[in-house]
C-alpha cells in the first residue's frame, strides 16, 4: 500500500519550477511548455499531441492532432491570456506536473482589467541581450510573459528594442511551433542573439516605452487582482472629467487625443479601454496605472498637464541632415572589408536607421544585402564545420562498437541540441544510411 501511494504522488512530467513567479518578468505559459518539452528531449509537437491534446477533450484538436493539422498552434497567440484555451492548458499542465501555480504564467489575474483585443503580438519578439546573458552564464533561457504583449517594444534592462526577426535567417517566429528550443530560432536553430550593435532608442520614444514597460511590469508582478474592477475605470474617468475638465467630455477627449464617442463609451461603461488605451490615458495624466486604480492621482491641474506636454515637445530638437557627409560615410561602409549591418551603420553615423532608409534607400539596401550575404556565408561555413565534427564523432563511435545515435553524437561532441537543426539531422541520417550500406556490402 505504501508503494502505491508513492507512485500515485509522482508526476507524469517533470515538476520543473517556473521562472520569475510573482515578479514582472514571470515566465509565460508558452515558454514553460517549450522548456518542459526540452527537458524531456521531446519537440513541442510530440508533447502536445501525445499528452496535452488527449486531456483537453476537444474533438477538433484531437482530429487535428490525428491528421496532422495545426489547430492547437494556430490558436497559441492567446495561450498566455485568460480565455478557455489558456485555463484548460493550465489545468492539464498542472495535472501532468502536479504543480498548482501555473495560472501565474498567464494574464488571468488581469482578466477584469483589459480586454484581449489588440493585446497580444502576432509573432514572437525577444531581447537578444537577455538571451545572450542567460546563455553565457549557463542560466535557463526562458521567455517572459511581458515580451508577448503588443504595447511592450523594449527591454528596459538593456535599453534596446525587442527584435522579431532571427539575426541569422531573417525570418519571423510564430508564438508557438512544433519544434522549439529555448533561446533558438525554430527556423534555422541558431541562437537568438545578434553580434551587431544594439539599435538605440531616441529620448522621446524612450520616455513612452519606459512608461509602458514599467507600468505593465508592475501589473504582472502584482500578487492580487482585487484592485482591478471594470467599473473602477469608468468611475475614475468620470471623476477626472468632472474635477479637471468641468464635466466637459469633448475637452477631455481633445486633451487625450481620442474621439469623444470613445471616451463617452468608457465613462458610461459601455466599453473598456485596451491596455494600450489605458496606458495612454495614464501617460497623459502623468500618473501610473496603479495610482489610477487606487484613486491616488497626483494633485495636478489641467494647466500643469498641458504645460508639461508642451515642455516635453519643445525639448525635441531635430538635427539637420548633412547629406554629403552621410553619403560619404555610407560609401565607406560599402567598400570596407568587413560587412556590417544597418543597425551598426546607423550607430557609426549617429542617425536613426529609419532616417537613413528614408533618405538614402539605395545605399541602405546595398549595405543590408551585403551584410545578409556575409551572414549566409558564415552560416554555411558554420554548418560545414559542424558536419565535420559530426562525421568524426560518428565514425569514432562506430570504431568503438557503439551505435552512433543522436544522443551519443551529441555527448561525443559535447554539444547538446546539436542535431536539432534539420540540415545536421539529415546529414547524420545520411551517415547512418551510408554506414548501413557499407556494412551490408562488407557482409556479402
Rounded CA separation 81/325 (Å):
49
Q: Residue 253 above 50 pLDDT? A: yes
Q: Residue 425 above 80 pLDDT? A: yes
197-222: per-residue pLDDT in tens? 566 676 767 888 999 999 999 999 88
| Residue 163 β-bridge partners | 126
pLDDT band at 225 (very low <50, low <70, confident <90, very high): low
Q: Identify the pLDDT of residue 272.
A: 87
CB-CB contact of 33 with 42 (8 Å): no
Q: Residue 59 above 80 pLDDT? A: yes
| Residue 123 β-bridge partners | 174
- 384-406 burial, b for 16+ CB within 10 Å, e for fewer? eebbebbeebbeebeeeeeebeb
Across 134-199, where does the E strand assignment appear?
154-155, 160-161
Rounded CA separation 100/235 (Å):
35
| Residue 120 β-bridge partners | 149
Listed in sequence order, the residues at least 6 apart from 2 whose beta carbon sits closer than 8 Å to its beta carbon are: none
Rounded CA separation 51/96 (Å):
8
91-141: per-residue pLDDT in tens? 999 999 999 999 999 999 888 888 888 899 999 999 999 999 999 899 999
- 420-429 burial, b for 16+ CB within 10 Å, e for fewer? bbeebeebbe
Q: Residue 402 above 80 pLDDT? A: yes
363-387: per-residue pLDDT in tens? 888 988 888 888 888 888 888 998 9
Q: Identify the pLDDT of residue 152.
A: 95
Listed in sequence order, the residues at least 6 apart from 324 whose beta carbon sits closer than 8 Å to its beta carbon are: none
Rounded CA separation 393/413 (Å):
7
Is the domain covering 229-313 a CATH 3.40.720 domain?
A: no
DSSP annotation string for 184-233: B-TTT--BS--SSPPPP--HHHHHHHHHHHHHHHHHHT-S--TT--HHHH
Amino acid at each position: 500500500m505504501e508503494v502505491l501511494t508513492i507512485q500515485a504522488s509522482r508526476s507524469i512530467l517533470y515538476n520543473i519550477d517556473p521562472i520569475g513567479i510573482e515578479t514582472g518578468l514571470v515566465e509565460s505559459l508558452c515558454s514553460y511548455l517549450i522548456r518542459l518539452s526540452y527537458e524531456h528531449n521531446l519537440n513541442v509537437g510530440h508533447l502536445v499531441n501525445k499528452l496535452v491534446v488527449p486531456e483537453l477533450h476537444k474533438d477538433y484538436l484531437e482530429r487535428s492532432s490525428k491528421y496532422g493539422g495545426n489547430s492547437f498552434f494556430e490558436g497559441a497567440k492567446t495561450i498566455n491570456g485568460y480565455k478557455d484555451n489558456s485555463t484548460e492548458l493550465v489545468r492539464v499542465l498542472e495535472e501532468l506536473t502536479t504543480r498548482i501555480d501555473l495560472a501565474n504564467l498567464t494574464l488571468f489575474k488581469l482578466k477584469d482589467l483589459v480586454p484581449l483585443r489588440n493585446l497580444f503580438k502576432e509573432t514572437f519578439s525577444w531581447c537578444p541581450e537577455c538571451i545572450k546573458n542567460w546563455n553565457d552564464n549557463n542560466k535557463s533561457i526562458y521567455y517572459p510573459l511581458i515580451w508577448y504583449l503588443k504595447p511592450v517594444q523594449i527591454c528596459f534592462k538593456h535599453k534596446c528594442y525587442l527584435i522579431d526577426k532571427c539575426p541569422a535567417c531573417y525570418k519571423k517566429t510564430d508564438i508557438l511551433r512544433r519544434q522549439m528550443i529555448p533561446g533558438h530560432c525554430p527556423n534555422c536553430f541558431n541562437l537568438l542573439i545578434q553580434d551587431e550593435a544594439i539599435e538605440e532608442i531616441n529620448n522621446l520614444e524612450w520616455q513612452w516605452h519606459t512608461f509602458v514597460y514599467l507600468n505593465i511590469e508592475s501589473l504582472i508582478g502584482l500578487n492580487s487582482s482585487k484592485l482591478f474592477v471594470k467599473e473602477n475605470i469608468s468611475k475614475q474617468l468620470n471623476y477626472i472629467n468632472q474635477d479637471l475638465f468641468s464635466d466637459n467630455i469633448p475637452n477631455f477627449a481633445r486633451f487625450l487625443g481620442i474621439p469623444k464617442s470613445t471616451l463617452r463609451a468608457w465613462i458610461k461603461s459601455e466599453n473598456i479601454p485596451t491596455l494600450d488605451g489605458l496606458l495612454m490615458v495614464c501617460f497623459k495624466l502623468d500618473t501610473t496605472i496603479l495610482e489610477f486604480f487606487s484613486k491616488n492621482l497626483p494633485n495636478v491641474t489641467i494647466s500643469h498637464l498641458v504645460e508639461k506636454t508642451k515642455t516635453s515637445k519643445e525639448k525635441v530638437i531635430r538635427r539637420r541632415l548633412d547629406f554629403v557627409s552621410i553619403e560619404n560615410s555610407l560609401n565607406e561602409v560599402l567598400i570596407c572589408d568587413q560587412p556590417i549591418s544597418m543597425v551598426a551603420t546607423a550607430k557609426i553615423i549617429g542617425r536613426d536607421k529609419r532616417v537613413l532608409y528614408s533618405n538614402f534607400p539605395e545605399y541602405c539596401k546595398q549595405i543590408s544585402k551585403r551584410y545578409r550575404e556575409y551572414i549566409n556565408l558564415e552560416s554555411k561555413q558554420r554548418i560545414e564545420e559542424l558536419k565535420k565534427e559530426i562525421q568524426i564523432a560518428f565514425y569514432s563511435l562506430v570504431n568503438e562498437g557503439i551505435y552512433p545515435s543522436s544522443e551519443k553524437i551529441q555527448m561525443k561532441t559535447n554539444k547538446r541540441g546539436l542535431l536539432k537543426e534539420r540540415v545536421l539531422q539529415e546529414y547524420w541520417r545520411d551517415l547512418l544510411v551510408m554506414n548501413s550500406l557499407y556494412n551490408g556490402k562488407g557482409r556479402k
